[in-house]
């Protein structure tokens, strides 16, 4: 790994953000709207639900964590799409940069975009709704790590689809996370799902992450085994995502799509 090249590619996306105030605004806007929406829903539920009435902010915390996953994935996708939209694909893939350095650069830069969007929203949640995700304590770092790895994995899979099917795969980029959200048990316990879907859901890291989040907030107990399980599943998916990306890259070379990838 050459960190100068990873830095160079990261810089390309940092400049893109810094050059455009509307772009920064766009990054901040959606997470903030989400926090407002779920903040009010959360407030309503805590006042009217027996399940949530002792634990203010479970839904809002879940919304923040889910948005973190969503932003991580979308950030990765957006940076990859940006190369296609700007017709810079050929220049990027003929530069002396390894594929793993491209993946590393997009993975590391995605966190920046994610945090730019999410930090203001997280800060707003404290005075407005009295909810701070820091209440999750040290496990928060591990929960975010699991979510981030899974978000980037989804980004990698969508990027692989873009390499395989071209820019028309873009719509899947937006839909991919909504597809998994019902199985992720973000706002409800896994028991709500039919048994057959529970089986599938347990194969996703999301269930373990959000179950753990609820357990910490409701019972004040941390099950590190569950956290390790969620991170391990995320790592397995991430490795799978990297392999799929490499396959798509070599497939794109065979089909010759790298040379004409554009809007």
Write out the residues near other proteins by the rule CB under 8 A. Answer: 2, 4-5, 7-9, 11-12, 15-16, 19-20, 82-83, 86-91, 93-98, 101, 250, 253-256, 258-259
Report which secondary-structure segment, H or E, holds 79: helix 58-85
Give the three-state DSSP class for 96. coil
Which residue lies nearer to other proteins by CB, 5 or 202? 5
CB of 114 to other proteins, least distance (A): 20
Q: How many residues does the chain have?
A: 263
Measured CA to CA, the distance from residue 239 to residue 243 in angstroms comes to 6
Long-range contacts of 171-175 (CB under 8 A, 24+ apart): 173/74, 173/77, 173/81, 174/74
Which residue lies nearer to other proteins by CB, 162 or 183? 162
Which residue lies nearer to other proteins by CB, 11 or 141? 11
CB of 251 to other proteins, least distance (A): 9
CB of 121 to other proteins, least distance (A): 25
CB of 260 to other proteins, least distance (A): 8
CB of 82 to other proteins, least distance (A): 7
Which residue lies nearer to other proteins by CB, 8 or 235? 8
Which residues, 6+ apart, have CB-to-CB distance to 101 below 8 Å?
1, 2, 5, 6, 9
Which residue lies nearer to other proteins by CB, 22 or 127? 22
Report whether 44 contacts 169 (CB < 8 A): no
Q: Residue 31: count other Cβ atoms within 10 Å of its Cβ.
A: 24
């Amino acid at each position: 790994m050459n960190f100068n090249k990873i830095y160079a590619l990261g810089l390309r996306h940092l400049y893109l953000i810094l050059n455009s105030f509307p772009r920064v605004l766009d990054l901040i806007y959606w997470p903030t709207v989400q926090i407002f929406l779920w903040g009010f829903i959360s407030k309503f539920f805590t006042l009217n639900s027996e399940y949530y009435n002792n634990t203010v902010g479970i839904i809002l915390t879940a919304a923040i964590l889910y948005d973190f996953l969503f932003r991580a994935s979308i950030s990765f996708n957006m940076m990859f799409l940006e190369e296609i939209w700007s017709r810079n694909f050929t220049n990027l893939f003929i530069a002396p940069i390894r594929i793993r350095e491209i993946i590393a650069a997009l993975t590391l830069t995605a966190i920046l975009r994610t945090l730019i969007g999410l930090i203001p929203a997280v800060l707003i949640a404290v005075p407005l709704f009295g909810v701070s995700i820091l209440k999750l304590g040290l496990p928060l770092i591990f929960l975010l790590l699991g979510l981030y790895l899974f978000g980037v994995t989804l980004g990698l899979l969508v990027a692989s689809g873009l390499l395989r099917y071209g820019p028309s795969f873009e719509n899947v980029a937006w839909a991919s996370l909504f597809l998994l959200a019902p199985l992720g048990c973000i706002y409800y316990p896994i028991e709500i799902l039919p048994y057959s879907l529970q089986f599938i859901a347990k194969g996703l890291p999301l269930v373990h992450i959000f179950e753990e989040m609820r357990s910490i907030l409701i019972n004040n107990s941390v099950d590190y085994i569950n956290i390790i399980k969620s991170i391990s599943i995320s790592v397995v998916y991430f490795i799978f995502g990297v392999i799929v990306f490499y396959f798509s890259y070599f497939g794109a070379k065979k089909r010759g799509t790298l040379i004409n990838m554009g809007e």
